[in-house]
Chains A and B, each alone.
Chain A
Amino acid sequence: MSAETIHSVIAGLAGEVMEHTGVEASHCYQCGKCSAGCPLSEEMEYPPSYVMRMLQTSDPVLEDKILRSFTIWVCLTCEMCYSRCPMSIDIPKMMDFLREKSLKEGKANHRAKHIIAFHKSFLDSIRITGRLYEIGLLVDYKSRTFKVMQDMSLAPKMFVRGKLNIFPEMIKGRAGVSSIFSKSNKKSK
């Protein structure tokens, strides 16, 4: 089946998921094992099996709800759903796609702002030095979230145990790494 035919068969967001990840939402028969095994389903508004069903309806209202959900951000990509799915549906791969799309379209859930801030601070640190600089990450995260006091008691304890580097490790190929960042950011826009 050519990509074109697939596109005409599967409409909407499910079609996009299929096109970009190869994941077929239509294969889900709602056994619910993903939601039962998901360690965070109780913190989600729609557990994984609900997301699959919502995709199957091709209803634009439900599709918009998925992209605006907290579910896609609190998903840990622990891969439990995928490993237990009797139809081998790669739900985590689908979640990665939905997150990227949600962010691109400015639909990221408000409750996920700290999770997203952490990811952004993390990537900023790598973009600049090539490796993660943990103190820099925490300072950047605090400046994004104003959670100034969070984990303040942890840092000195880490320091005395030799678990915090005062200075970042700067790699030689920093230019190469930052070019990887600018190229992939350009494409995802």
Chain B
Amino acid sequence: MTLGLYPGCSLKGSSREYTESVLAVAQACGIELVEIEDWNCCGATAAHNLNKELSLALPARILSLAEKQGMKEVVVPCAACYSRLTVTNHELAVHPELKQTITKGNGLDYKGSVEILNIIQMLDKYITPNLEGRIVKPFEHKVACYYGCLLVRPHEILKFDREEDPQSMDELMLKAGATPIDWAFKTECCGAGLSVSRTSSVGRLSGEILKDAADRGAEAVIVACPMCQSNLDMRREAINSYLGEKIDIPVLYVTQVLGLALGIDRKTLGLQRHFVAVNI
């Protein structure tokens, strides 16, 4: 089985352990992920904050490359990239004139045939049905599944999980042997793109998230977005200073947990790259 892959910029740099764990889990389950050749950045928050046309044209180039390279389904592990690509797919599909401007205007050819899968959708469709007998080291810990914003919102376009109290990651964690906790900050924002330009806000928002997870006894926070991971992990200093206490709960990608349960070694999954030591 072969699927297209759009890693996005973070997964090639500051969040490379996410790519490592996605590839390791896919490989262990016989799925081949092929990167879209010559992909570009999706434009992220910066593009849609400053220039609407740019925010659609950059993802349109990516989608047209995927289509040209014969990809039917493309896995997008980064929740922010997943949101930008899905929103673009949607906008171009419902506004034919806009599609004309964006594609023809930039010399792109895109019919709109590419299906975009976020990481949970990919795991649910291709990995979990074949998990039986493969979970050799159940991840027997209490976990707080943190979905963040862009994996579930807006539901009108993404049509994925529930916007309030989603369950898909919790179910996945159950299959990996973990015990997901009930908590209040599953879909609250971590501060996302303000990480550099307004670190104090990120300290507050991410701090509230981690505090609730810690208070309810979570041993790890599980994420599916590189921005959530880096804010909750790399910004721990700002978080601890906001909270006035030291919280040392590690923040793992959903694929790292699944990888551990499948018996993949910690280094292959990139656990040594985290700022907050993963001692579980």
Contacts and interface: CB of A to CB of B under 8 A. Distances in A.
A96 B52 contact: yes
Given A39-B205, A99-B50, A122 B61 contact: no
Interface stretch (B33-41, B241-249, B254-262): B33-41
Interface string A126-139: 10001110100010
Contacts, number: 163
A83 interface: yes
Size class of the contact patch on chain A: 35 or more
Interface of B: 9-10, 12-16, 38-41, 43-55, 57-58, 61, 105-107, 149-150, 153-156, 163-164, 187-189, 191-194, 196-199, 201, 205, 234, 272-275
Contact of A173 (B38, B156, B189): B38
Contacts of B9: 131-132, 134
A188 interface: yes
Nearest to B230: A163
A164 B50 contact: no
A180 B188 CA distance: 34
A122 B51 contact: no
Contacts of B107: 176, 179
B198 A132 contact: no
- 7 nearest A-B pairs in the assembled complex, by CB-CB distance: A132-B9, A79-B153, A78-B189, A119-B46, A122-B46, A184-B53, A118-B197
Interface string A150-167: 110010011001111100
B14 A134 contact: yes
Given A79-B153, A122-B44, A172 B38 contact: yes
Interface of A: 39-40, 43, 74, 76-80, 82-83, 88, 90, 92, 96-97, 99-100, 103, 114-120, 122-123, 126, 130-132, 134, 138, 141, 150-151, 154, 157-158, 161-165, 169, 171-173, 176-177, 179-181, 183-185, 187-188
B48 A40 contact: no
A157 B277 CA distance: 13
Contacts of B12: 131, 165, 169
A142 to B, nearest CB: 10
Nearest to B95: A22
B53 A171 contact: no
A154 B234 contact: yes
Contacts of B57: 180, 183-184
B105 A80 contact: no
B40 A171 contact: yes
Given A43-B201, A96-B48, A115-B194, A130 B106 contact: no
A176 B64 CA distance: 13
Given A39-B191, A131-B41, A171-B38, 4 more contacts: A126-B40, A126-B43, A173-B40, A185-B54
